[in-house]
Amino acid sequence: MAKKQPSIDTKGITAVQLMELDSCTRCGECVQWCPTYSASGQEPGLAPRDKILRWRDYMNKSYGLRAKLFGPKEISEEELDEFSSDLYQCTTCGICETVCESGIDTINLWEGIRANLVKRGQGPYGKQKYFFKLVSEYGNPYMEPAENRTAWMPEDIEVKETADIVYYGGCTAEYKQTKLAVATARVLNKLGIDFAMLGEDELCCGSPLLRTGQSELENIARDCTIKNVENIKAKGASKVLYACAGCYRTSIVDWPKLYGKPLPFEIVHITEFLADLIKQGKIKWEKSINKTVTYHDPCHMGRHVGTYDAPRYVLENIPGIKLIEMDRIKDYSRCCGAGGGMKAGIPDLALKVGEERIEDALETDADILSSACPFCKRNLADARDSVDAKDMEVEDVIVLVAEALGLEVEGE
């Protein structure tokens, strides 16, 4: 009689992650902080602790001592489908990792389990499944032709063919939030910074695939990474600037692993670059923005890589701006709701998470809610409209910088 096979395997799950599953003490601290659990009305299946305990149970049923002695216990497809649905109702923001008493690396754990489920055909969720097809065929998740990569660019913007600095625009800014791309390019021109861009040769950074567990499907994420890195090298760059927190995080954390060796250039967020110029006295402001501003930390820029101070330093140095903080900031910031494929896969829940963040901002009485990520801006703006708080402006830091430099910034 053939030996029964386990219902799940361990592909995509590292040995360390298997130990992390056992290290959960069920304390429930993560439950108190999870933004999707809160916004869902506290659906039990969405709590980080619940997901860890369920997957641990599945592993024990498949590979534990009893399974070794008597064979693995079957896990129904319906149960795994339900687990997959709950797992994808998560922004992978990482707050559960921040507060975890056992130090479990939940960001990589969620992505590893998602990759495992994708391989067995039970992920990704909803419209997230189109990311693979779109990125593989178009080089971006928006089904846009490559020639439209620079359609946002006004004729007066000067971009060098080669330069020591490359501005990596990112799919969202170049195709959907062009105001961000225009502001970044105009600011660099205004400051006399020579920069090149990849233009039609730029490809998706891979974040949509990586965050939703589609990292190894025909190695598309790896192929995009290698082509991007080689194209940046061809431009002669030693430094790459980003105004998108998602691309910035992916380039710092994921690209070296996918490329197979350290990157031959420095990864810098535009706010870090501007903060250094301000400290050197190289920025001459031309306009005062007499507004109170509160700053939202993008998860990919903050918890994932630890860049907290630069955007605040820039805002504090813009004439007229008074920076006031929300209660939950930096390591403990509430997610905007858009990450981890949520905006595409579960937009209603993403909006509810965003609404809770808007409530945090409204408590400060700020005129402007600012961030440094196009995804944060989009979902927070949608949430602001949803709660009818239209008196509060939602704007990216780089756009405020452009305004204070006396620049006109057009775009969506």
pLDDT in tens, 161-212: 999 999 999 999 999 999 999 999 999 999 999 999 999 999 999 999 999 9
pLDDT of 3 reads: 62
pLDDT band at 411 (very low <50, low <70, confident <90, very high): confident
What element of type H or E holds 265? none
pLDDT of 216 reads: 79
pLDDT of 69 reads: 87
pLDDT in tens, 334-359: 999 999 999 999 999 999 999 999 99
Question: What is the residue whose two structure tokens read 């079957």?
Answer: 74
Q: φ and ψ at 270, to 5 degrees?
A: -60, -35
Which of 69-73, 245-249, 253-257, 292-296 is predicted least confidently? 69-73
* Mean pLDDT, residues 89-110 taken together: 96
* Mean pLDDT, residues 297-307 taken together: 97
For residue 343 the two structure tokens come to: 């905006």
According to CATH, the topology of domain 285-405 is Rossmann fold (3.40.50)
Q: Does domain 129-275 have CATH number 3.40.50?
A: yes
Query: Hey, do 129-275 and 285-405 end up sharing a CATH topology, with the first three levels equal?
Result: yes
Q: Which residues contact 13 (CB under 8 A, 6 or more apart)?
A: 112, 113, 116
pLDDT of 123 reads: 87
Q: Is the pLDDT reported for residue 1 higher than 70? A: no
Q: Is the pLDDT reported for residue 2 higher than 60? A: no
What is the separation, in whole angstroms, between the first and last Cα of the chain? Answer: 64
- How much of the chain is in helix, strand and coil states, percent to nearest 5? 50, 5, 40
Query: What's the CA gap between 326 and 103, in Å, rounded?
Result: 26
* Nearest one of 239, 405, 393 to 314, comparing CA atoms: 405
Domain boundaries, the chain: 15-120, 129-275, 285-405
pLDDT of 5 reads: 85
For residue 347 the two structure tokens come to: 């937009």
Are 163 and 196 in contact by the 8 Å Cβ rule? The answer is yes
Buried b (16+ CB within 10 A) or exposed e, 215-232: bbbeebbbebbbebbebb
Which of 1-5, 45-49, 81-85, 380-384 is predicted least confidently? 1-5
Give me the CATH code for the 15-120 domain, please.
Answer: 1.10.1060.10
